Structure 1
Amino acid sequence: MHPQLAPPTRLPWIAQVLLLGWLYFFTGWLGLRIPSIGSHITLIWLPTGIAIAVLLRWGRRNWPGVFLGALLVNLSVDAHLGLAASIAIGNTLGPLLAVLCLSRGGFRPAMDRQRDVGSFIAASAIGMAITSCCGVASLYFWGRLPITELQTSWLTWWMGDIIGVFLAAPPLLTLERSSLSHLTKERRTLAYWILAACPVAWLAFFQDYSQSEHVFPLAFLTLPLFTWAAMRFGNAGASLIGLTFSLIAIWATAAGHGIFHSKDTHTSLFLLWSYMATITLTGLMISAMQAERRQTEITLRESEEKLRALYELSPLGIALNDMSGRFIEFNEAFRRICGYSAEALKQLDYWKLTPKKYSQDEARQLESLERTGCYGPYERLCPNSVLGAMLNTVADRESRHGCPEFSAFSCPTGSAHAQTEELAVFCA
């Protein structure tokens, strides 16, 4: 289980609960200003995302704040206490279930892995299904919703809750000091991005298309901007930009502008929902893939540094040469064994350092390489050496004529030039 993040401030538990309740109430009150079905169901419900993020970061013990905020926001739309309490129970159970699934699944709040994004989507969908079932059942039980509208109401409730999770939770989960520092370092690129985004946002969200048809494809103009942001600014930057663009699109659509505004309010809201879900999930997935790529590069670089250190510090002389015998690379131990300077050794090749008595052995090994793709293992010892190693490698049959081979040399460090001194050679 991934450990829960500690709260950013040392607030008492009751203060955390009250703060969460106030945030839930305020964002919920704003969300109900654009109802989709009746006065209790909206297609954009940010409080669920805030609840999941806070419960993940501050701990599940803060669930009373979710219940309190949900209760107050439902009482504010003329719901009686029984209806408001039953809806608040569902609004509390959904985020709690989502957080429980994420915690047990090894979810990392930084969402720097593709599996984290997938887990986040799945847990959100499951948790919000519970919220939708409780909410719609409550409205039906208390006579606020006819049976003919149950299916549409459930789907609208679920869509509103899950888009709220996608929009509000990622910025709250990924925003850390390190991500803010990264955004600060990229402030020049961010300024260029804003310069490019402003005309695109105006064209997509504020231009009046009331007399035009088939303008929805203009929404694709914003996708390159989100791809750029996700690749450059990371999860925190991408989620913040996705939230900002979504809020702008909501405000412009509510004011009667942009490509999502239409005479049919429900159609307009569903198109807007589809757009927000697409850009948010696209940004999260691209950012996660970028983070995984960077982590892979770091791991490979560290591994290469370790291998390089072992290669350079090895007491066994190691050289890399091509099929013609020319030395491509060698370590310091090999240079000391040969007794040449690095510049002089680069002018020599493997054959000049191989005593003629081993010519037949070399011919057999090269024949084996040609026939089987394998060179060695075999060993050659000088009378004075007791050191040794046996190496083995397999050459690629299709490219072995250009494939380099490794040679490992070992002999007393005080030996003279290899032309006159037998070296202990173990080849593969």
Structure 2
Amino acid sequence: MTTVVRTPDRRRAVVYGFQMLAVAACYYAAGRLGLLRQLAVGDAVFTPIWPPTGVAVASLFIFGLRCWPGIALGALLVVLSLTSPGPSVLGTVAGNTLAPVCAYLMLRRVGFRTGLSRLRDGVALVFLGALAAMLISSTVGVTLLVVTGKLGLDGFWPVWLAWWVGDAMGVLLVTPALLLLSEAREPPDLARWKEALALAAVACAVIPVATTSRLSLLYLIYPLLIWAALRFQLVGSVLCALAASVLATLAATDGSGPFAELTRIEVMIKLQVFNGSMALTALLLSAVITEQHNTRRSVELACQELVEVLEHLTAGEAPPSRSPTDRDGLPRDRDGPPGNGASPQASPEGP
């Protein structure tokens, strides 16, 4: 009996250990990827997009709150790869771990659904998961730089702003993509592959031109975002926004294209305004369109049920009974927030 009881516990412990190592490895890999492109603000160097924050928030929704040690381990490895061990390292790791945990808890509190199928989900991810929660990591990190003498007090606000926006961009651009990837169950309808390939071809032609031309053609990307959101909802708009953001960041760090002949502060402002407005457009527009599609589908199914009931009443028969799933007419929404690493559950709130 003892062996029977201990074996599942040992198996769960091994699975948990592998999950933590996977989260730490993904966090570290994302951090090294983000460090490939940097901008200088005064005496400090920052990354315009910090992907590990997006990886951390997505991991919490995929594996549950118990994966925070993996986030802390990944953050520690990234920080140690940049600086020598010291008291400030632990503070930075604590800030980088606490920020995504707070984002997860706040999003859970408001009933966030990982499928981003409602406008309120997109708004919550923007204002709670990205803008509000990332205040923690930027404030803790920059304060430690000032306290340890690595940054002058006069440089606090520029570096704080750059740190905060970089972390927020990681949540806005990386988290939705990872959540969509984790919930992918089946390939898209083959009938739409032609339009998807056409969109990809146009994006591959327009985005490089918009991000490398000195004529400031960045606005050409917005029609692509609208096309992607209208036809492919969140999947298309997020992928399009992520590709545009990466190429714009490359141009900004190289000082080329629309970012040529600008000061570092001007480059930072222009790049982050572009990335932020593009991420907002992609998330909120696709959420609105998805919500409208779901509402229309619910109305159509309700009308169909009403017609069936009227037909049975006219024929003098009792209308067929339906289960709760039949009355909804759609599979249960699996976008509810998971708890303790369990599968997502439906939220009781409607769209």
Pair in the same fold by TM > 0.5? yes
1:246–1:204: structure 2 CA closer, same or farther, 3 Å change rule? Answer: same
> Aligned pair 1:66/2:65, yes or no?
no
Q: Which position in structure 1 is the counterpart of 2:9?
A: none
Partner of 1:231: 230
Partner of 1:301: 300
Mapping for residues 71-220 of structure 1, pairs under 5 Å: 71-124=76-129, 125-176=131-182, 178=184, 181-182=187-188, 185-207=191-213, 209=214, 215-216=215-216, 218-220=217-219
Contact 1:40 1:77 in 2 (8 A): no
Correspondence for 2:281:
282
Q: Given the superposition, is the C-alpha separation of residues 198 and 190 from structure 1 closer, same or farther in structure 2, using an over 3 Å criterion?
A: same
Q: 2:22 aligns with which of 19, 22, 37?
A: 19
Distance in 1, Cα, partners of 2:234 & 2:240: 10
In the alignment, is residue 51 of structure 1 matched against residue 56 of structure 2?
A: yes
Q: Distance in 1 between matches of 2:171 and 2:113?
A: 16
Q: Deviations over 1:166-208 (max 9, x none)?
A: 111010112356576237552211111122223322321233x
Structure 1 gap segments, 5+ residues each? 1-9, 210-214, 316-331, 334-428
Contact 1:20 1:65 in 2 (8 A): yes
Answer whether contact 2:134 2:168 (CA < 8 A) is retained. Answer: yes
Distance 1:11 1:167, change over 3 A: farther
SS of the residue aligned with 1:108? Answer: coil
Give the RMSD, CA atoms, in angstroms. 2.1
- Report the AA paired with residue 68 of structure 2: W
Q: 1:202-351, aligned counterparts within 5 Å?
A: 202-207=208-213, 209=214, 215-216=215-216, 218-315=217-314
Which residue identity is paired with 1:277? Answer: G
Q: Which structure has the bigger radius of gyration?
A: 1
Q: What secondary structure sits across from 2:188 in the alignment?
A: helix
Q: Distance in 1 between matches of 2:302 and 2:109?
A: 31
Q: Which runs of 5+ in 2 are unaligned?
A: 1-12, 317-351
Q: Which has the higher strand share?
A: 1
- Inter-partner Cα distance in structure 2 for 1:41 and 1:198: 28
Q: Give 1:11 deviation, angstroms.
A: 7.5
Whether the aligned pair in 1 keeps the contact of 2:224 and 2:240 (CA below 8 Å) is no
- Are the equivalent residues in 1 in contact too, given 2:206–2:221 (CA < 8 A)? yes
Deviation at 1:294, TM superposition (A): 1.2
Cα separation, 1, equivalents of 2:122 and 2:186: 21
For these two proteins, the number of residue pairs brought into alignment is 301
Task: Please report how far the alpha carbon of residue 161 of structure 1 lies from its aligned counterpart in structure 2 after TM superposition.
Answer: 0.5
Asked if the contact 2:28–2:77 (Cα under 8 Å) also holds between the matched residues in 1, the reply is yes
CA distance, structure 1, for counterparts of residue 184 and residue 49 of structure 2? 30
Contact 2:20–2:67 (8 Å) recurs in 1? yes
**How many Å separate the matches in 2 of 1:54 and 1:280?**
20
**Which protein is richer in helix relative to its size?**
2
Deviation at 1:99, TM superposition (A): 0.1
Q: 2-side partners of 1:281 and 1:186: how far apart?
A: 26
How far apart are 1:153 and its partner, in Å?
Answer: 1.6
Letter of the 1:229 partner, please give it. A
TM-score under structure 2 normalisation? Answer: 0.80
Q: Aligned ranges for residues 334-413 of structure 1 at < 5 Å?
A: none
Residue 273 (structure 1) shift: 1.4
Distance 1:177 1:142, change over 3 A: closer
Match of residue 40 from structure 2: 36
Contact 1:86 1:135 in 2 (8 A): yes
Instruction: Give SS of 1:273's match.
Output: helix
Question: Match of 1:220, as an amino acid?
Answer: Y
Partners of 1:267 and 1:122 in 2: how far apart?
A: 24
Provide the secondary structure at the position in 1 that maps to 2:261.
Answer: coil
Q: How far does the alpha carbon of each residue in 1:255-312 deviate from its partner, in whole angstroms, 9 at most, with x for none?
A: 3432234341231132111111111211111111111111111111111112112222
Please give the TM-score of this superposition, normalised by the length of structure 1: 0.66
2-structure distance, mates of 1:56, 1:31: 22
- Residues 261 and 64 (structure 1 numbering): CA distance in 2 closer, same or farther, change over 3 Å? farther
After superposition, the Cα gap between the structure-2 partners of 1:251 and 1:271, relative to the gap in structure 1 and judged at 3 Å, is: same
Once the two structures are aligned, what percentage of the paired residues are identical?
32
Separation in 1 of the partners of 2:120 and 2:166? Answer: 24
